[in-house]
Structure 1
């Protein structure tokens, strides 16, 4: 039998029909299996975890059969309790499936520490600029000591204690400048 006669024969069309039917059965079976194995109709709404401690987050997510991962601590935010959730991904209200991981960012327990630079001999203006750029606040009541240079930095104080270059202070601490009065020798 030649190829052209076979392509026109009833046997060829039966084989094509069997192949198409087999392919359709395979596709529908695969679709059904994927729907069952991936819990297609299951939805769990992600709760709002903001301002919750890690213990409360653990309890809440275990009840919903969800997991969590702490990815990092952010900058300290005084509006949130210490070591509480600041951000979460996916956001509250989104729908996920069971065993999904919720990524959490926690509030640190305090501001990060800042290293005190060596400002001895600097002008008041330069010292204030440098300290503010590091995230420190400057007390507006300056302490003056006898010195030949007017408004030249002669030291730094934090809560009435002398600061040395390299000391560590929490971010947003209030630092007092010790300045020369310009009347010394």
Structure 2
């Protein structure tokens, strides 16, 4: 039988049909397997985790078959509860596959503690700029004490308590400047400005 006759034979056509059907079945099986192993058709909407604590985050994501990783702690934000989520990636409303990791940024438990810089002997303006640069707030009210230098820092107060250079306090603390009044030391009460002259007899 020649090749041309074989190609026209029922046997060849039958084998061709069987091969085509087998290819279709195989392709369908492969696609089905990929769907199962890669969750191709499964899409989970990422919930909003903002302001939630880690325990609530864990319970919520576990129910959705999602995982999470804490990647960083941001600067303390008083608008968020301590140790709660400030940012997340992917964002809320995104669609992801099961077992996807959600990356979280948490709010610290409080403001960072930093040392008070050296501002003693500096002018009010210099000290204010330096304290603000570190992260403190400077009270608009000032306390003046007797001193020959006017508006020069002679002390620092926080809630009425004296603090010194190097003391560590939380950022965002309100510091009151204790400044010289430029008028010098106060006269002690009851002490006269007059010099008393005491005459003594000459001893022979």
TM-score of the alignment, normalized to the shorter chain, above 0.5:
yes
Helix, strand or coil: the match of 1:157? strand
| TM value normalised by structure 1 | 0.82
User: Does 1:107 pair with 2:107?
Assistant: yes
Post-superposition Cα deviations, 1:43-92, rounded to whole Å, max 9, x if no partner, equal 11111111111111111011111111111111111111111111111111
Q: Distance in 2 between matches of 1:30 and 1:99?
A: 22
Alpha-carbon distance in structure 2 between the residues aligned to 1:39 and 1:129: 57
**Matched residue SS, 1:47:** coil
5+ unaligned residues in a row in structure 1: which ranges?
Answer: 1-8, 11-20
1:10-159 matches, cutoff 5 A: 28=27, 31-159=31-159
CA distance in 2, matches of 1:48, 1:80: 14
Q: Give 1:183 shift.
A: 1.2
Q: Report the Cα offset of residue 36 of structure 1.
A: 2.9
Structure 2, unpaired ranges of 5+: 5-18, 186-204
In structure 2, C-alpha distance between the alignment counterparts of 1:134 and 1:70, rounded to whole Å:
27
3-state DSSP class of the match of 1:78?
A: coil
Aligned to 1:15: none
What displacement does 1:30 show?
A: 5.3
Rounded to whole Å, the distance in 1 between the matches of 2:147 and 2:139 is 20
Q: Provide the C-alpha distance between the structure 1 equivalents of 2:172 and 2:163, rounded to a whole number of angstroms.
A: 15
RMSD value, Cα: 2.5
Q: Deviations over 1:6-61 (max 9, x none)?
A: xxx99xxxxxxxxxx8xxx5x94655543332111011111111111111111101
